[in-house]
Structure 1
Amino acid sequence: MMTSFSLSLSLCMLGEHFWGLVGGSRCSGRLEILHDQTWMSVCDAAFDQQDAEVVCRELDCGAPVEVLGAAAFDKGDAQMWTQEIQCRGNESQIHLCPTSPSHKNNSSHYNDVGLVCNIRVRLVDGNNPCAGRVEALHRGQWGTVCGDGWDMTEAAVVCRELDCGEPVDALGGAHFGPGSGPIWSHFKLCNGSESTLKNCMSAEVVFYDCDHTKDAGVICSGNLAQTSSYFY
């Protein structure tokens, strides 16, 4: 099961208010807006695909993969945002989107909206978003990475892709617990300078005896749960 984090990982401006994604990664989480020094959740009925397009674009996280309702990233614990965001989808920043009073007056934190942008790699079950079991999205499926041959060269690429600083350790043996699903075994051709892990996939490398007891993990020097990025 993925570990959730309660602090905002990326902060931006919405008009006079800051907004952020909470409880996921840099490119996924529950949407919250800071108003009068109080973080507020956004109702899933007041947020749609066009709004998500702008959020993911502003965070440099690609296109939105999913807009999730029903508190998919856990429930917030403050008030509900009372404005409806009305992006067209082509804005470069969400503060350029108009807002209007929301007519969805019966929303509760069970309706908190979250979103997932087009992330391709994530660290799971660590004690912060910059440490954990490596999971990669390939052929439309999330899978773990075989730890055979996994070293600091590949770890450097993962840390760079996640804006997590420098690699501290490259771990095998399911150090962060075994994952599930497919095991990708073709991320072994990194030279360490690539910007993303997918750029290392130039050939298939098959380890026939690889199983989830060998899942790869990474510890990076950064801690995104404590370092926020601001956009104006």
Structure 2
Amino acid sequence: MDALIIAAGFGSRLRDLSDSKPLTPIAGIPLLELGVRQAKAAGAQKVVVATGHEAERLEAALPGLAVRCGLPVEAARVADWSKPNGWSVMTGAERIAGDFLLMMADHIFSAGILSGLARQGGADRGVTLAIDRRPDNPLVDPDDATWVETGDRGFIRAIGKTIPVYDAVDCGAFLATPELAQAIAAAIAAGKAGSLSDGMQALADVGRAATWDVGNAWWLDVDDPRAHALAEAQAPRELAEVYSAIRDI
């Protein structure tokens, strides 16, 4: 299994702290490195990074990152990074055969989330999304969250930032099959802008979008200075395995 990390966006809400969100340090470790190390711990044999904004700078950092983390890390540059994030998924998925972990560069997770998600594949789904059924989780920014409404068997009925009914929040981690990129492409062909949520909703509409509940596990979307401060304070404790491994090198 490989992993795809989406790292192409502008990161406007974190610009006061860093001009490259994926390279923004959290207690001394760049967000992207945390993601790569967590993907490896979950079983990834290779990590593909979808690049766009500040692509040259980010791509220049990947060889050293690969050496430090001990697995191949390669770039897949998005032709137009101003387009929605589904275009990054399609670009990165071209470099991957089979199922893959899909992560956002600005999301970090306690150890069990990605490893648990990696075991959720099945013939009855084209994608499995990690969800948090605590919409009032104080770590979640309600103004930026992607909400999820689930139905039978916990499969997705609706997903998006403005859906009126929801019972969970999208954690930003997926176990994807090739169906996800195909669904995004089909949504674009049908006139959608090409967001990841467009593809997810297309799979949900045909009963192919499953969820996996993270329970009380810790995760954080490091999208603005408030979240960055929370990450600085909490990540060394919540991601103790990652930080301990790096200190031991």
**TM-score > 0.5, shorter chain as reference:** no
- Compare CA radii of gyration and give the structure with the larger one: 1
Q: TM-score, normalised by structure 2?
A: 0.27
Structure with more of its chain in strand, by fraction: 1
* TM norm structure 1: 0.29
| Higher relative contact order structure (alpha carbons within 8 Å, sequence separation ≥ 6) | 2
